[in-house]
Structure 1
Amino acid sequence: MDARIEQVVTSGTLALDDTEYDVENNTYLVGDDDEVIVIDPAHDAEAILKEVGDREVMAVLLTDGNEHRLGVVLEVAAAGEEDEENWAPIALHRADRLLWRDYFGRLAKEEDDEDDAKALRSLEPDIWLEDGGVFEIADAQLEIVQTPGHTPGSVCVISEQLGLLFSGDTLHRGRPGSIGGVYEDLRKQLNSIGALLTPLPKDLRVLPAQGEETTVGEEDARWETWGSLANESDDD
């Protein structure tokens, strides 16, 4: 198999509900010597593109629409190309469209040039991700699985050929994914995690958007214990 995985770790801040959190994120490159798909760019486009090198970026997949991803997605999709027609397509689930529009709408308000502001307001992802959708890169397939909860449009990405689950911020090692311990809809997120893990091979590697990798078996064994987190969330 020619396809390989590379990881780039970047750090920065993410604002949620007027609170800023320090976040360290994993971006993954899936591809070969000629082309790659970038999964979850965050914070530092330059560092990600340095790892991409001379390879062609075929697509940029976002597992959610939070702003630490949106802040670099255009630069990563452009990959140094000035002509927008040569940019890689950006893919996001439609249920996170509001997050997308809020972010680029705020950028538009900061623009002095009305044409640039209009372009930002009209900007949309090139591909709306759907449950069961498949991307191909090198000799590997990447299947999209919708996992709402962390955000309405959160997804995970499974590659049976590579033996990998890219879990985004839906699932981190040892816990449901969060930003600074904050959960948007933890009960929905836990239901998504349970439905995701149950049918998968227990030895499948899990590569999250934050922290160290784990396996489906390790997290499936922990899943029921996380119900107490949902109860605590209800009490807040």
Structure 2
Amino acid sequence: MDARIDKVVTSGKVTVDDTEYDIEANTYIVGDDEAVIVIDPAFDAEPVIEAVDEREIMAVICTDGRETHLGSVLEVAEADEEDPAPVALHTRDRLLWRQYFRALADKDEDADFLKDLQPDLDIEDSGVFEIAGAQLEVMHTPGHSPGSICLYSEQLGVLFTGDTLHKGRPGRVGPDYPELQEQLNSIGAILSPLPRDTRILPGQGDESTVGDEDSQWESWFALAQEPESEA
């Protein structure tokens, strides 16, 4: 197996309920010297495309359909204009996708085509993506959004958690958890069966391990009351 993981961090702003938040988001590039899968392109396509270099992008996977993960998805997917990569999203986040791109279209008369834009691939629970000898198993983890997913690779010993789980707490939308109980149930379900030394690579912030996060899981049920700024 030749697969490796590259990380790119980009920064930008996200508006939630008329409040603007400064965000740093993680993009992961999984593959070898020939081909890669890009997970969660965020605010700036240029550093992601530079990190991919001349490798072929086989797919672009969005772990949810919120604004943070859609900002540069088209530019990254179309880095090779002659052979664009398919964009994958869970079916239950198609509404968020549609809302985001229709809002962009409403602001720009030359972008009317965005109103009918759809993801190329529908992600389903237990689906598998393969790249450079590694498998990325889809785990549906609703809560942060209806179609949030995580991706587990036994070969690489990693769990890509998107904004389902950050280091030390669940991911949020602004200061709030849209469906905290459901999100915590999802987190508990994915953490408990995995080896405790599995690396957790989140959509924001530093990495962690399954063991570290599982030990804190029961303490998170009161987090909805904490008004901190994160998206």
Give the TM-score normalised by structure 2. 0.94
Deviation at 1:160, TM superposition (A): 0.3
Identify the match of residue 105 of structure 2 among 93, 108, 120.
108
Segments of 5+ residues of structure 2 without an aligned counterpart are 227-231
Aligned mate of 1:154, from 140, 148, 151 = 148
AA in 1 matched with 2:84 = W
Q: Deviation digits for residues 205-225 of structure 1, max 9, x if unmatched? A: 100011111000110000001
Question: What's the TM-score once normalised by structure 1's chain length?
Answer: 0.92
Please say if 1:49 is aligned against 2:46: no
Q: Describe the superposition over 1:50-95 as per-residue Cα deviations: whole angstroms up to 9, x where unpaired.
A: 10000010000000111122121000000141x4xx1100000111
Q: Where does the alignment leave 5 or more consecutive residues of structure 1 unmatched?
A: none
Q: Output the amino acid matched with 1:93.
A: H
CA distance in structure 1 between the partners assigned to 2:45 and 2:80 by the alignment: 11
**Once the 2 structures are TM-superposed, how far is the Cα of residue 185 of structure 1 from its aligned partner?**
1.0
The answer to whether the aligner puts 1:19 opposite 2:19 as a matched pair is yes
Matches within 5 A, 1:32-71: 32-71=32-71
1:211 to 2:205 alignment = yes
Aligned AA (1:101): R
Note the C-alpha offset of 1:179: 3.8
Measure, in 2, the Cα distance between the counterparts of 1:2 and 1:149. 34
The reply to whether residue 87 of structure 1 matches residue 81 of structure 2 is: no
Q: For residue 10 of structure 1, what is the aligned residue in structure 2?
A: 10
Q: Going by fraction, where is helix more abundant, 1 or 2?
A: 1
Instruction: Answer whether contact 2:102 2:115 (CA < 8 A) is retained.
Output: yes
Q: Does the Cα contact within 8 Å between 1:23 and 1:179 map onto a contact in 2?
A: no
Shift of 1:47: 0.8
Q: Are the equivalent residues in 1 in contact too, given 2:11–2:25 (CA < 8 A)? A: yes
Question: How large is the RMSD of aligned CA atoms in angstroms?
Answer: 1.2
User: What's 2:31 paired with?
Assistant: 31
- In structure 2, distance between residues paired with 1:178 and 1:21: 12
CA offsets 1:132-184 (integer angstroms, 9 cap, x no match): 00000000000000000111110000000000000000001111112443211
C-alpha distance in structure 1 between counterparts of 2:24 and 2:106, whole Å = 28
Identity of counterpart residues, as a percentage?
62
Give the 3-state SS of the residue equivalent to 1:100 in structure 2.
helix
Q: Give me the whole-angstrom Cα distance separating, in 1, the residues matched to 2:172 and 2:34.
A: 34
CA contact 2:10–2:44 (8 Å) conserved in 1: yes
Structure 2 CA distance, aligned partners of 1:159 and 1:228? 31
| Number of residue pairs aligned between Structure 1 and Structure 2 | 226
Q: Which residue pairs with 1:99 in the alignment?
A: 96
Q: Distance in 1 between matches of 2:68 and 2:215?
A: 31
Q: Distance in 1 between matches of 2:213 and 2:87?
A: 30
Q: Distance in 2 between matches of 1:94 and 1:204?
A: 27
Moved over 6 A (4+): none
Preserved contact between residue 159 and residue 199 of structure 2 (Cα < 8 Å): yes
> How many Å apart are 1:43 and its aligned residue?
0.4
- Determine the structure 1 residue equivalent to 2:120: 126
Q: Distance in 1 between matches of 2:132 and 2:93?
A: 28
